[in-house]
Structure 1
Amino acid sequence: MAAPEGDQKQVVDQLPDRVYKYRSFSNRTIEMLVEDQLFYADPSTFNDPLDTRPTLKADVNAVALQEMLRTFVERRTTAELEAAANTIRYRGPKTVEHILRLGRQQAEKMLQEVAYNATNPDYEMENPDVFLLTNYVERELLRQYDKGLVSLSERWQSPLMWSHYGDQHRGLCIGYSVPGDVGDSLRKMNYGGSRLVQASAVAAMLRGDAGAQRLVDDLVLLQKAPDWSYECEWRLVGRRGPQDSPLEMEEITFGMRCDLAVKYAIVRALEGRQRPVSFYEMHEVEGTFDLRRRVLDVAELGVSLPRRARYYLGVFDQLPEIELPLQKATTSGDVQ
């Protein structure tokens, strides 16, 4: 058998100097900015249903697939039971032995389920057992990817990104520099190619092959259709939910339709930050579809904001009342 693709040498992507996050304006955006956090999203919530949904290709026999399924189920069940035991503070060798035994039992139960279902005459194919095992292994493979993802871009001037993710220019784009210690958690997206994951690579991953692990990670987490290439996307991989940002926030660019009050609120919210942030605003290049940005005049924001609606009425409160002279009424018969 040929060596699995995971044995091939992996190419490490050159990290960009800066990456960008397009956002609409919301409470979460304000929290994200002032707390310097990023939200690692569940990939199942992404707008492309094929994103992070590869297909397993069975390039190994049924015995190898059975072993892969057994390993996946034992590891998953053991991890779930260990978490439950920690919650209720069960400890000791008997607890560990019990967990391992239950993990093996769960794996055997699933293998028996596959073998029974393979006898169903409705499966009009040559190897229904391989078909079912492939589906079960694929499902278990995806279940192990419980990480969250932060989608970022190399570009701040993309018209499509501003429209799709920047609330049609009513939002903003946050620029981050990439520290050297970010390491392998920031990964570049691949566009095009196949959604197939070779079972042989998954088997090598389960044996501890680091190259196979990276290959499978790339195919599961970092593969999208060519039509998405305009995003020039990079992804941070980490624990799901809001996390402290491993990147350094450097700049904020406001969209062409962003309200003055939104700009004011964000600029004031970040006043006194230990590392200052630069502010920009988008504008069009006259006669073209190109976008440019210019430095935001922060001082000008404070000229008219914050505004008090009754200010002009109060201006007259300190003035003395002035009695106007009465004008003598005239009639049409008066002599001029």
Structure 2
Amino acid sequence: MAAAPEDDEKPVVDQLPDRIYKYRSFSNRTIEMLVEDQLYYADPSTFNDPLDTRPTLKADVDAVALQEMLRTFVERRTTAELEAAAKTIRYRGRKTVEHILRLGRQQAEKMLQEVAYNATNPDYEMEDPDVFLLTSYVERELLRQYNKGIVSLSERWQSPVMWSHYGDQHRGLCIGYSVPGDVGNSLRKVNYGGSRLVQASAVAAMLRDDAGAQRLVDDLVLLQKAPDWNYECEWRLIGRRGSQNSPLEMEDITFGMRCDLAVKYAIVRALEGRQRPIAFYEMHEVEGTFDLRRRVLDVAELGVSLPRRARHYLEVFDQIQDIEPPPYNATGA
């Protein structure tokens, strides 16, 4: 694991892709997302890989340093929670601030005492139970501070596996976005493989407001995945959790091979008159191979048969007066 960068070390900046894609199944939420130009920043704890955004802290510092890290984390978290509560009930002023800071320190001391007491448990058959417990507590507090949401995107629109997993087995669609220059550092590339370990020394540097260490820890917490996922070519847009206005520019929509004609029609019509027009495509197989390609969707052809009215075909016969008699039966029956 690399050591925490020095303060004057410039972080490596990802080369942003020209176009990036979001696979979706068709639903009311998808329609809402398209017409309102929004993206949903998901809670990482809901991701299908339980190891995703769940690194392990490695104690490469002593117990005193770990205690100080735990104290800082708890004081900051408790203070932030109490400040939010005070703002809700409109409590402010010097006494409120002092009270919040005092409670933060008390909560930190209480947790440190809890660690010290638990370390005396004889069931811990290890060389240094203090370090073990402090590491566990600091790791938990580290992960609690990452309350951001993530939008998962891909560099690829032609992945058969992703069409099956995220595009509702080709019944869904894939939305293409261009990446404006002002998106900046909120769009980050996922790293595949490597270690899930985060050095405690890097976390300590992060708590001292070391920007390089902050980026290193962010990468290890938010952007590290198992190598088996590398087919996704994933990029992550990081922001406040929940539905947010999209910072990306929607450019095109590609429909899966099994996508219903009515779904294509509904989405094309829903985006009619959009200030910035959307290009529409549909997926096709490359004959004799497992490769996929896409071609431009004939939007005009959609309107030939849709929308249809079923009773129209019955009313066509209402205008016909000469109804043929039943066929002649020689038996008179």
Quick check: TM above 0.5?
A: yes
Per the TM alignment, residue 279 of structure 1 is displaced from its structure 2 partner at its CA by 0.2
* Map of 2:89 onto structure 1: 88
Cα distance in 2 for partners of 1:247, 1:77 equals 35
Aligned residues of 1:174 and 1:249 also touching (Cα < 8 A): yes
Contact 1:74/1:106, CA 8 A, preserved across alignment: yes
Q: Deviations over 1:252-283 (max 9, x none)?
A: 00000001010000001000000000000000
Shift of 1:321: 4.3
Max Rg structure: 1
Mark the CA change 1:269 to 1:129 in structure 2 (over 3 Å): closer, same or farther: same
Aligned-residue sequence identity (percent) comes to 90
Aligned-pair CA distance for 1:309: 1.2
302-311 vs 285-294, which moves further: 302-311
Post-superposition, which runs of at least 4 consecutive aligned residues in structure 1 deviate over 4 A? 2-9, 321-329
Question: Are the equivalent residues in 2 in contact too, given 1:6–1:213 (CA < 8 A)?
Answer: no
C-alpha contact (below 8 Å) 1:65/1:137 kept by paired residues: yes
Secondary structure at 2:124 match in 1: coil
**Please, which moves more after superposition, 8-17 or 291-300?**
8-17
Residue in 2 that maps onto 1:200: 201
> Cα–Cα, structure 1 residues 191 and 317, in superposed 2: closer, same or farther, change >3 Å?
same
Please give the residue correspondences for 1:73-112 in structure 2 after superposition, counting only pairs within 5 Å. 73-112=74-113
Quote the Cα distance in structure 2 between the aligned partners of 1:81 and 1:292. 54
Instruction: Specify the alignment match of 1:47 in structure 2.
Output: 48
In the alignment, the residues of structure 2 paired with residue 7 and residue 121 of structure 1 have an alpha-carbon distance, to the nearest angstrom, of 46
Unaligned runs of 5+ in 1: 330-336
CA distance in 2, matches of 1:8, 1:184: 17
What is the CA distance between 1:319 and its match in structure 2? 2.8
Q: Is 1:41–1:240's contact at 8 Å kept on the other side of the alignment? A: yes
**Between 316-325 and 231-240, the greater mean CA deviation after superposition:** 316-325
How much does 1:292 deviate?
0.2
Q: Take 1:3 and 1:39, find their aligned partners in 2: how far apart are those partners?
A: 32
For 2:147 and 2:116, locate their aligned partners in 1 and report how far apart those are by CA, in whole Å.
Answer: 28
Change (3 A) 1:325 1:40: closer
Alpha-carbon spacing, 1:112–1:270, altered in 2? closer, same or farther (3 Å): same
- Given that 2:4 and 2:213 are in contact with CA atoms closer than 8 Å, whether structure 1 keeps it comes out as no
* Residue ranges of structure 2 left out of the alignment (5+ in a row): none
Root mean square deviation, CA, Å: 1.6
Secondary structure, aligned partner of 2:7: helix
Alpha-carbon distance, 1:8 to partner: 5.5
Change (3 A) 1:327 1:152: closer
CA distance in 1, matches of 2:303, 2:6: 59
**How far off its partner does 1:10 sit?**
2.3
- Return the offset for 1:322: 4.6
What's the offset of the Cα at 1:7? 7.5
Distance in 1 of aligned mates of 2:185 and 2:176 = 20
Name the TM-score, length of structure 2 as normaliser.
0.96
Conserved? CA contact 1:171–1:255, under 8 Å: yes
Query: 2: CA distance between counterparts of 1:6 and 1:46?
Result: 33
Whether 1:125 and 2:126 are equivalent positions in the alignment is yes
Whole-angstrom CA distance in 1 between matches of 2:299 and 2:288: 28
Secondary structure at the aligned position of 1:25 is classed as coil
Give CA-to-partner distance per residue, 1:149-171, whole Å, 9 cap, x none: 00000000001110110001000
Distance in 1 (alpha carbons) for counterparts of 2:110 and 2:326: 103
Kindly tell me: are residues 326 and 172 of structure 1, through their superposed partners in 2, closer, same or farther at Cα, counting changes over 3 Å?
closer
The answer to whether the 8 Å contact 2:4/2:205 transfers is: no
Q: Report the CA distance shift for 1:318/1:243 in structure 2 as closer, same or farther (over 3 A).
A: same
- Show CA shifts across 1:232-252 (max 9, x none): 000000000000000000000
The one-character-per-residue Cα deviations of 1:179-216 (angstroms, maximum 9, x if unpaired) are 00000000000000000000000000000000000000
User: What number of residue pairs does the alignment pair up?
Assistant: 328
Structure 1 position 326, deviation (Å)? 9.2
Q: Residues of 1 paired with 2:87 and 2:318: CA distance?
A: 69
Q: CA deviation at 1:320?
A: 2.8
Cα offset for 1:318? Answer: 2.3
Task: Report the Cα distance in structure 1 between the residues aligned to 2:199 and 2:71, rounded to whole angstroms.
Answer: 18
Q: Distance in 2 between matches of 1:3 and 1:19?
A: 31
Q: Give the Å deviation of 1:48.
A: 0.1
Find the counterpart in structure 2 of residue 332 from structure 1.
Answer: none
Residues 1:285 and 2:253 aligned together: no
Distance 1:78 1:319, change over 3 A: same
Q: Could you tell me whether the CA contact under 8 Å between 1:5 and 1:215 is conserved in 2?
A: no
> CA 1:146 to 1:255, structure 2 compared with 1: closer, same or farther past 3 Å?
same
Cα separation, 1, equivalents of 2:85 and 2:104: 13
- 1:28/1:323 CA distance change after superposition, 3 Å: closer
Does structure 1 retain, via aligned residues, the 8 Å contact 2:20–2:154? yes
The Cα shift of 1:4 comes to 6.0
Structure 1 residue aligned with 2:117: 116
Aligned partner of residue 149 in structure 1, secondary structure: strand
SS of the residue corresponding to residue 139 of structure 1 reads helix
CA contact (8 A) 1:280 1:293 kept: yes
The SS at the match of 2:114 is helix
- Please report the TM-score for the alignment, with normalisation by the length of structure 1: 0.95
Return closer, same or farther for 1:46/1:249 CA change in 2, 3 Å cut-off: same
